[in-house]
Amino acid sequence: MYTHSCPRVCLEPFATLVNDHTQPGGGKYLFCIVNREDPVCTVPPRTVDQIADYPFVHVGGAWKLTEDGPYKMNDEPPPVDPQSIINIIWNVKNHRKSFCMNARVGG
């Protein structure tokens, strides 16, 4: 299953259960594709101060798309400070570049 630009959707116990049933080897896979500057993927916000209040994570683990191809990261990407509205608007131009690079690398 592929998801694209999804928010963090669940708490750790459920994410672990989903990941255990969708790992390579069993013929079932789960991938979450994220563009670099996409604010949706940081919802709910998860700054260092908010981890206790919003411990939501992505299911399927974290994959990084690079020039050499995709690879599975050991951990979920670290907490980040959510972007301000001004930065979200300013960074929209980066979505095209990020998506095109990811699409080229991913397939």
Closest CA to 98 of 17, 11, 54, 33: 33
Please give the pLDDT value at position 8.
78
Q: Into how many domains does the chain fold?
A: 1
Average pLDDT over residues 2-15: 79
pTM over 0.85: no
CA distance 91 to 26: 39
pLDDT tens across 14-67, in order? 888 887 887 766 666 777 776 666 667 767 766 667 767 777 777 766 666 677
pLDDT tens across 82-93, in order? 566 666 666 665
- Domain of 101 in residue numbering reads as 2-106
